[in-house]
Amino acid sequence: SFDGRHGIVEVQPDARAGYLSLTLSGISTGALFDTVQRAREVFDLDAPAAEIGAALGKDSALRKMLKKQPGVRVPGAWNGFELTVRAILGQQISVKGATTIAGRIAARYGERLEIEHADAPEVLHRLFPTPDRLARARFNDIGLISSRAQTIRTLARAVKDGDVDFEAIQDPDAFCENLQSIRGIGDWTAQYVAMRALKNPDAFLGSDLALLKVLAFPARMTPKELEARAEKWRPWRAYAAMALWSSLSSSGG
């Protein structure tokens, strides 16, 4: 939604290797530049891949992973508020379960997608709810425990009131500290949001179970050991995390 008008952004691999094809429906001329730039950020197209690869390649384990998956990118987020809500939903449940609940929230509280002179695919019919809608949502009979529902309402109020925003031009440490002041949001969630919504290239989830396992499998590092090793990955720790996640057989990457 841009200034009250709805649109669809479709991205797919282009026939030319190394390119993406972008198709827009319902996007006004005035919103064209912002839409294209936002899409570039979602796919991290402006990342200095060669510089990142050279820096992370100094670590022998990462060097092997980057040879298999060169040009690692960190996916962005179209909407920082939606990303944060989905991250909260994903705490201690499966991705599939969190996706199901997110769909229920969108169906109940989201605005219906309306596009002039364009037919939306059947699967696209709702916008994600605004902070204003979720600030007072009850979330009853939706499969959400009461503490998590309260965390989402508190977040929504903070975003609505301007106490939390997702502008990239802000201090990421201060952002994470501010986000963690909301009961129910810890360091993992804050760093994850900073990584994807703020596009902080040095965000790092030092307590992530997969990251703790992957470098010492079948043993497991402690968070302190992982944080110490990650010091030499600065300022590209988010990209190191993506390379490590992508090396796992269960990651789909």
Q: Is the bond leading into 235 cis (omega within 30 degrees of zero)?
A: yes
- Decide if 108 contacts 126 (C-beta within 8 A): no
Contacts with 23 (C-beta within 8 Å, 6 or more apart), sequence order: 9, 10, 11, 12
Say how many Å lie between the first and final Cα of the chain, rounded. 30
Cα 24 to Cα 8: distance, rounded to the nearest angstrom: 6
Find where tokens 């499966």 sit: 94
- Decide if 208 contacts 43 (C-beta within 8 A): no
202 catalytic per annotation: no
- Decide if 155 contacts 135 (C-beta within 8 A): no
Cα 171 to Cα 169: distance, rounded to the nearest angstrom: 7
User: HSE-up of 216 (CA within 13 Å, CB side)?
Assistant: 12
Alpha helix positions (H), 69-206 = 80-89, 95-109, 131-134, 146-160, 172-180, 187-196
Phi, psi dihedral angles at 12 (to 5 degrees)? -150, 160
Residue type at position 197: A
Of the residues 44, 59, 202, 208, only one is catalytic, namely 208
Active site residues: 208
